A and B are shown apart, each in its own frame.
Chain A
Amino acid sequence: METSVITSTSTSHADGHSVLRSYLLEARYECLRTLRTPSFVIPSLLFPAMFYVLFGILLNRGNGDAARYLLATYGVFGVMGTGLFAFGVTVAMERERGFITYKRALPMPPGAYLFAKITVAMLFASIISLLLAVLASTLAHVSLSAMQWGLLMAVNVLGVLPFCAIGLFIGTLVGGQGAPAVVNMIYLPMSFLSGLWLPLTMLPTVFGNLAPAWPPYHLAQVALAVVGMSKDSNIVLHVGILVAIAAGFLLLAMRRLRRHG
């Protein structure tokens, strides 16, 4: 065994190098860890695609508008689930097990933990997007311009962020056992109330009036505008609200994490 000589002069070059590497490794291993968790992978990737095949294709009987509408809203449904579960449930569990405390004691670069989790959420959001795009363009004969496909993908991949922030906040509030129930209680009703399963115009008007209160409603309006299924001219407002939701919940969550670990 070689004798280690204690040295203290740490050059900023070596530090700078190791920080970037830590971010990348953290993200890479978080992705691997998540892919090794079938209880997360299967529902988050399969449910949006399965629902789309069922309601957008099999039960739809060739209505092109419905196929297009549901392509946008099931994308939102998928990324919302990914953000809420990837953050809400895993953060709650890792907090409860003491993993977050342990990570804070280590010299982990402070943003690496969130960076890794956001990478996972975005990776899953893009896989969901791709799956839906393949199903829609082949089985449902939805045709969009390359620009529209690209934009829809971007909306989904970036649209996961406000739900990551909400999930993170839930993860700081509830324990690992309770988190899946809490997430589902938010996830499923909000999906319905935001018009992700059925257009709000097919529901009593009260649902339409209440819809702006739900975060996924705003993401759905952006996605529907991309596929040409919305005449809503307030896209900038919807994007602004989503940014505010993301920033607000992130702030709340960070305050709780700092105070309670």
Chain B
Amino acid sequence: MRDDRGHDGRCIDSNGQRPVLALLRGAGKQFGAIKALDAVDLALHRGQVLALLGANGAGKTTAIALLLGLQDTDAGEALLFGQSPRELSARRRIGVMLQSAGIADNSKVSELLELTRSYYPRPRSVADCVALAGLDGLLGRRYGQLSGGQQRRVQFALAICGDPQLLFLDEPTTGLDIEARRGLWSAITELVAQGCAVLLTTHYLEEAEALADEVVVLNRGCVVAAGPMREIQAHVAQRRIRCLSALDASRVAGWPQVRSAQRQDARLEVLTDAAEDVVRRLLEEDAALSELEVQRAGLAEAFIEITRDEGDEPAGRRAA
């Protein structure tokens, strides 16, 4: 995606093309004896959707807190639009949806929206917010009377009401049913199409896969992988072969380039780095083989692989 709008970012990436909206440079944060973040580099460019992934305690929340100015870095720096995130003028260009907003039950939705819009110099119209977040019929209701999904939609509306250039979405769809989740995804996709950048953290890897074009994986406070989604997915060359076959699983497991082979009832499941060779041999050895399926490893497999082999490889390795 090339940026064809005006160049307004004050901080230009080394490639000189797309302005950097949010930046962590060598950022470190320590809580007592625990290093929550250690020399983390992260850059979010205009128009990008960056998924920040990692297990609980990996440092995602701390990274977001530094970028929002909720906490100060112990080492390195955190910048929003080239400024300290503590600057009001930087935060006027972002929208925020945190894991829990703690909004009072006795606020009306319309009041929350009007107040939050007043924080921004050029807010989106109320009608736009209602349409984008799906708040039809909710404006007059009290926040506490809404369902969990409706409350999340209100929080999303509050995040986008300032017409931000950068949206922070921290676990935006946790606790939502599939329909509500898809609704939110399409709203996010629409905003991205309008040029809004997104920094997303999520536990749902399929959510990151559906929305993000850049990935940063954190493990124990360090960046263990970073790069375009395709490259991260390709981190694992592994593929999964499934078929109905009578072949002995333990014998297949002994074949070259087979990582593992398991039997589940009539179904044989083989993990391999060289699917073509293994499929050829399977077909040769079992003429009755049927229902052959070859699956590319997704983000989920890559994620498990990346966070598992973190111990063997240097932290901060960049795939990009």
Q: Identify the A interface with B (CB < 8 A).
A: 1-11, 14-15, 18, 21-22, 25-26, 29, 32-33, 36-37, 94, 96-102, 104-110, 261
Choose one: A3, A9, A100, A105; the contact of B68 (CB below 8 Å): A105
Closest to A26 in B: B115
| A107 to B81 Cα, complex, angstroms | 14
Closest to A23 in B: B118
Q: Kindly list chain A residues whose C-beta atoms are within 8 Å of the C-beta of B295.
A: none
| A4 to B88 Cα, complex, angstroms | 22
A25–B118 CB distance below 8 A? yes
| A100 to B98 Cα, complex, angstroms | 12
Q: Kindly list chain A residues whose C-beta atoms are within 8 Å of the C-beta of B196.
A: 4
Which of A6, A18, A99, A110: most chain B Cβ within 10 A?
A6
B195–A98 CB distance below 8 A? no
Closest to A2 in B: B128
* Chain B, interface SS category: loop
Which of A36, A102, A261: most chain B Cβ within 10 A?
A102
A108–B107 CB distance below 8 A? no
User: Quick check: is B190 within 8 A (CB to CB) of the other chain?
Assistant: yes
Choose one: A3, A8, A105; the contact of B98 (CB below 8 Å): A105
Task: Evaluate whether A1 and B102 lie within 8 angstroms (CB atoms) in the complex, with A33-B107, A105-B68, A106-B116 already known.
Answer: no
Q: Kindly list chain B residues whose C-beta atoms are within 8 Å of the C-beta of A94.
A: 102, 104
Task: Evaluate whether A36 and B106 lie within 8 angstroms (CB atoms) in the complex, with A1-B131, A18-B121, A106-B116 already known.
Answer: yes
A97–B100 CB distance below 8 A? yes
Q: Kindly list chain A residues whose C-beta atoms are within 8 Å of the C-beta of B71.
A: 261
A102–B190 CB distance below 8 A? no
B102–A109 CB distance below 8 A? no
B92–A107 CB distance below 8 A? yes
Can you add 11 more A-B contacts, CB < 8 Å, to A1-B132, A6-B165? A8-B81, A10-B121, A11-B121, A15-B92, A25-B115, A94-B102, A99-B101, A101-B98, A106-B91, A107-B119, A108-B119
Instruction: Kindly list the 5 A-B residue pairs having the minimum CB-CB distance in the complex, ordered from nearest.
Output: A97-B102, A99-B102, A8-B8, A98-B102, A107-B91
